[in-house]
Amino acid sequence: MRKKFKKDYEWLKKHIEKKFNYEVLEGTWVDERVEFEEQKVYICSRNRAETRLYTLLHEYGHIEIQEMGAADFEADHPMYYKIDDGRVERSKAARVSIVAEEIEAWKRGRWFARKNKLSLDEKKYDKHMTAA
């Protein structure tokens, strides 16, 4: 099964690079994240293949929100934390915006995995989501 996670991870990595033109970089001590301006995704290479796949699915969700559905998402979820104002960034509304986007990114990653028949243990994905 581990080989399937690795195979699916590599497939998703290539898909992100081809469809969105984002480079997926792996490093031993990187903070896992998407840098939209740089068009780079950072994944920690110390994690197991299954964990890397689930993390990359989540980051895929963020990219999809940004590149394909930002206007629709923002219409339903105002992005208060993007406003360059320290007061707004610390507000409850900003925290709710961040949580809403995080949940949506996890949902989109799960949907994408199901649609493309990628390896996905639902319970482990949920556990990874709540631990993030």
pLDDT tens readout for residues 50-94: 999 999 999 999 999 988 766 666 666 655 445 555 545 567 777
User: How many CA atoms within 13 Å lie on the side-chain side of 112?
Assistant: 25
C-alpha to C-alpha distances, 88 to 17, 53, 61, 108, nearest whole angstrom: 34, 34, 25, 27
**Average pLDDT over the chain, rounded to an integer:** 87
**Could you count the other beta carbons within 10 Å of the beta carbon of residue 113?**
20
Per-residue pLDDT, 89? 57
Question: pLDDT category, 47, cuts 50, 70, 90?
Answer: very high
Cα separation, 50 vs 56, in Å, equals 10
Cα separation, 68 vs 118, in Å, equals 21
